[in-house]
Structure 1
Amino acid sequence: MDKTFQDSRRGLPTRLIVLFAICCSSAVMPLTFTGPAVAIPAISRTLGGDPVALNWVTNAFMLTFGSTLMAFGALADFFGRKRIYVLGLVAFTVFSAALAFAPNIIVLDCLRALQGLGAAAAFSAGMASLAQEFEGTAQMRAFSVVGASFGVGLAFGPIASGAMIDALGWPSIFGLVVALALLALSIGIPFLRETRNPDAAGLDWMGAITFTLALTLFTYGVLRGPAIGWSDLTVAGPLIGSALLMIGFYFVERSTKHPMLDLTLFRYPRFVGVQLLAAAPAYAFVVLLVLLPVRFVGIEGMNEIAAGQLMMALSGPLLVLPIAAGVLTRWLAPATVCSGGLLVSAAGLFWLSQTPVGSSPSVLTIPLLMIGVGISLPWGLMDGLAVSVVPKERAGMATGIFSTTRVAGEGVALAIVTAVLSALTKSHLPSALGPSSAEIAQRLVTGDLAGAQTLVPPGTSIGLVLDYSDAFSSLLWILTVITLITATVVLVSLRNVTSDPDNALGEEDVEISSI
């Protein structure tokens, strides 16, 4: 805890105003990737672009956001949390406004990457500032409220974006983001106070560079692989380079006096279990926030409003159930609540796999609701568990690693799942299509059904929608199995963790911490 906080406690009203500002800026983040997901078909019609460029509309933001969270957290500790928060939010606002005027898909993708950098600075510095305003159980409740604000953004993002796209066009979705960011700035500037860590050593530049480059090369290779083949040098090269950079990152962090990532935290088995729990929503929930709107609008022909309304069944439970999860821990262990929620999500994923493309919204609503309900239970406990499974003095670093695992994992999962769906779609297409099957599959995955149909030879009768539907069902089968495995591992690895942060470490963890 900073000395500045120990010396001066501010009144509760002021701290609640700061909490509201952080919640506003936090709610913007999910809007920033759910909105463009709904808009991808409309963006494609306006700006064009090949499937890889369209995939980067989502991946560029998630990549820069996830890969720089720890770096900006270190900069906030060193230069001042309020300063980095304000600078990040200003940059985020400027780039968000510029996105509405992007002249082509390449400029849009570049602005999305810059938008992700601003979001990472604002989010990491904002959370660090919030940690200086509250302590103990009040701090855990404050972080839970911020988590709930994420749920608000996720729940209303698709429907709000769909309505705005339908009425005003896709550039309007960035106006909503700008408005919320300006609100957060207007509150944060007068009420946030400057704090910094007097012992901070600045940024671990080598760690930040190797980590960010590794994720960038990996995402680039995975997105290009389905289109041109995994053996192509422009695909295999970046993937090999990514692996080498991750190895380099490991050795950099081991040898640096003040590392960006404290590898010794991974001595705690329960900390490793929490990282797996952090990654679970990525492939059981977040990827669907991107893939399903593309399917509903681009393949099934829904309008954006109808797609947004249907997505409410998936994301709506996040408005209420994360808080209910905390209540359940009075009677059930956190591991039981989390693994039980993942089991419900797995059941929903399996059910959804049995609903082909073209099914009525009434048929899709129940499995989507099950997935949302299931993922909401661990969602409400993850942030608290991230802090509780390590000693208190290491809670800051643990939170940073947890946030990076969650957000960077979402970007990586989206790239991998998109590539898998493309490969599955290609495998379901008839071999008579030859080399064009790869591009057809890519266009279907990005919701460009009309473009895919133009690549089918004249006079050839092929059910592209049926082939895509079969591939989507196969993907959901894979996600079901992964979620079931995760539920089992979480139950075993976190079985003795309690909801009391003072008694969260198990005996084996205490023994390890004394090494």
Structure 2
Amino acid sequence: MRKWGPLIAVCLGTFMLLLDVTIVIVALPDMAGSLHASLSDLQWVIDIYALALAALLLGAGAAADVTGRRRLYAAGTALFALASLACGLSTSPAMLIAMRGLQGVGGAAMFATTLSLLGAAYQGRDRGVALGVWGAVSGAAAAIGPVLGGVLTQSLDWRWIFFVNLPVSAAAIWITLRTVTESQRQTDRRVDWAGTAAFAVFAGALTFAVVRADTVGWTSGRTGAAVAVAVVALAAFVVVERRAAHPLLDLGLLRRPSFAVVMVGALAFNAAAFGVLPYTSIWLQTLLGMSPIRAGLAVLPLAVASFVVAAAGGRLLHGRSPRLVIGGGLVLIGAGALAQATLDAGSDWTGLSAGLVLAGIGVGLVSPALAGAALASVPPRNAGMAGGAVNTFRQLGFALGVAVFGTVLTSRMEGALPGPSAPAHTAAHVLAGGGASALRSRIPDATLHGAFASGLNGAALIAGILGLVAGIAVLAFLRPAPAAPAAPAPVRVEEPEVAAVR
């Protein structure tokens, strides 16, 4: 137990926090009915969690070095559990969104410390095994979320998708305190709170602009103001990072082609693989009449394929070029999304299966390889920063993907629904938010089916193009660096062993 205790503790937390990115997907129609939530509310229930993870991961990693990694991991898990309880007890969309954000704060504290805890606990072959298991868990968690969410929502209630986190959190904290050794605190280091705040404002304002643009218009003053805030915040982040003694992100790393393209791949990965799933789930339940469990099972091919490939990939792809693994995986994700963009008014869930399998294979390839490629693309002293950055870009990609694809979805629906533009615009938002039953009295069911299928096709098409472009970029620009001559240097045990790439 003591040998593999740190791995169990880290994997429990990782599985739980990544599961919560997608476990809400099949519960969205039930949430909308119970809390009287709009499409915008549902988007924020998903996005605020991913945004909190993205905005705080880098800052949480620095805070872990100062306060102790085990301490921050346990505290983050406790906060995650309390926020999960509050999510399950929510009585309004605003309360649920706020508590989902608090969940993300706890999740960021957990996620920021996972790789460093494993790197410090294991060496040699054991480290390779630990990283392989962690990669398989990471790859499968987000994909299996809809399945578990469907089981809990139908068997109990949507609130149990949050309550289930309580016993898992308690087990993770107990094992952490029993088996994980505390890291040495870096008392001379300061956390870059200014950079953390600037990046959080940038990510939040950009996502807000995309979500609101679908309602108020891309050329409206409110959309323009949100975009302006995002631009100013990004500029402030750049200025702060250049002047900070201990920056969250060394901007010089972005001049390294391999590091930059890995970040692009991470951003595109979560967007292309998972960004359309919330709307797919709403289609399955409100248009096809499937139960939450059946809707979760309908996307099971993605979960199964990703888990099998991720679990087997550590052995079968050991020593393979990250360029081929990540680039090829992104191309498969793109191809899988394009294969799902073929729905019509008469389609059922089987029209998604082949595309989900392709995407799942890609997820299983990319997810375990991304972290290693990020760590390997920078000097050893920047390994912790690179690990935090790749996870940050992944979560930011998911948040932006949900927002952008929602805009594409409703825009395509609006064009397929009858009547003047204003009523069609309203109807599209009601339909996308799970309100098909409210529209059936005045719009033929076949028209609703066709409109939703058209919207999903548009979103999947953009997701497919994104995956293909990102995959081609990785294949073109991610290159191994020539081996450097050995030089005497202190060994940092917390850094995973990875092949060096430029």
TM normalised by structure 2 equals 0.91
CA distance in 1, matches of 2:443, 2:151: 38
1:228 maps to a residue whose letter is V
Residues 102-111 or 325-334, more deviating: 325-334
1:80 & 1:358 partners in 2: Cα distance?
Answer: 56
Residue 438 of structure 1 is matched in structure 2 by 425
**Residue of structure 2 in register with 1:486 after alignment:** 470
Q: 1:379 to 1:433 in 2, by over 3 A?
A: same
Deviation at 1:65, TM superposition (A): 1.5
Deviation at 1:359, TM superposition (A): 2.5
Aligned residue pairs total 490
Question: What pairs up with 1:345-494 in 2 under 5 angstroms?
Answer: 345-356=333-344, 358-430=346-418, 432-453=419-440, 458=442, 463-494=447-478
Give distance in 2, aligned partners of 1:378 and 1:498.
23
CA contact (8 A) 1:53 1:105 kept: yes
Amino acid aligned to 1:488: I
CA contact (8 A) 1:143 1:383 kept: no
For 1:283-362, what aligned pairs fall within 5 Å after superposition? 283-329=271-317, 332-356=320-344, 358-362=346-350
Indicate if the aligned counterparts of 2:64 and 2:113 stay in contact, CA closer than 8 A.
yes
Residues 463 and 73 (structure 1 numbering): CA distance in 2 closer, same or farther, change over 3 Å?
Answer: same
Q: Residues of 2 paired with 1:80 and 1:356: CA distance?
A: 54
1:171 to 155, 159, 171: 159
| Aligned match of 2:500 | 504
Deviation (angstroms), 1:178: 1.9
Which of 115, 133, 136 is equivalent to 1:145? 133
**75-84 or 277-286: bigger deviation:** 277-286
1:21 corresponds in structure 2 to 9
Q: Which amino acid aligns with 1:257?
A: A
Distance 1:193 1:383 in 2: 23
Question: C-alpha deviations, 1:18-39, integer Å up to 9, x for none?
Answer: 1100000110023212221110
1:126 and 1:487, CA in 2 relative to 1: closer, same or farther beyond 3 A?
closer
1:151 partner amino acid: G
Q: How far apart, CA to CA, are the structure 2 residues paired with 1:27 and 1:181?
A: 11
Compared with structure 1, are the counterparts of its residues 136 and 356 closer, same or farther at alpha carbon in structure 2 (3 Å cutoff)?
A: farther
User: Are the aligned partners of 1:336 and 1:495 in contact in 2 as well (CA < 8 Å)?
Assistant: no
1:203-232 deviation digits (Å, cap 9, x = unpaired): 111101111011111111211111121233
User: Post-superposition shift, 1:159?
Assistant: 1.9
Alpha-carbon contact 1:32-1:177 (below 8 Å) kept: no
Alignment map for 1:96-175 (pairs within 5 Å): 96-135=84-123, 138-175=126-163
Query: Out of 206, 209, 214, which is 1:226 matched to?
Result: 214
Partner residue in 1 for 2:487: none
- Cα distance in structure 2, aligned partners of 1:498 and 1:25: 37
1:216 aligned residue? 204
Gaps of 5+ in 1: 1-12, 510-515
Residue type of the partner of 2:203?
Answer: L
- TM-score norm. by structure 1 comes to 0.89
* 1:38 alignment partner, one of 26, 50, 58: 26
CA separation of 1:156/1:503 partners in 2, compared to 1, >3 Å: closer, same or farther?
Answer: closer
Residue pair 1:31, 1:177 contacting (<8 A) in 2 also: no
Select the residue among 194, 199, 204 that pairs with 1:206. 194
Contact 1:388-1:504 at 8 Å conserved across structures: yes
Q: Which residue of 1 aligns with 2:40?
A: 52
Give the deviation of 1:473 after TM superposition.
Answer: 1.1
- Shift of the 62–391 alpha-carbon distance from structure 1 to 2, 3 Å rule, reads same
In the aligned structure 1, how far is the partner of 2:48 from the partner of 2:480? 39
CA separation in 1, counterparts of 2:125 and 2:260?
23
Determine what percentage of the aligned residue pairs are the same residue: 27
- Alpha-carbon distance in structure 1 between the residues aligned to 2:31 and 2:498: 50
Structure 1 residues 114 and 340, CA gap change in structure 2 (3 angstroms): same
Q: CA deviation at 1:140?
A: 4.5
Give the partner amino acid of 1:435. A
**Aligned equivalents of 2:13, 2:20: Cα separation in 1:** 11
How far residue 425 of structure 1 moved from its aligned partner, in angstroms, is 2.1
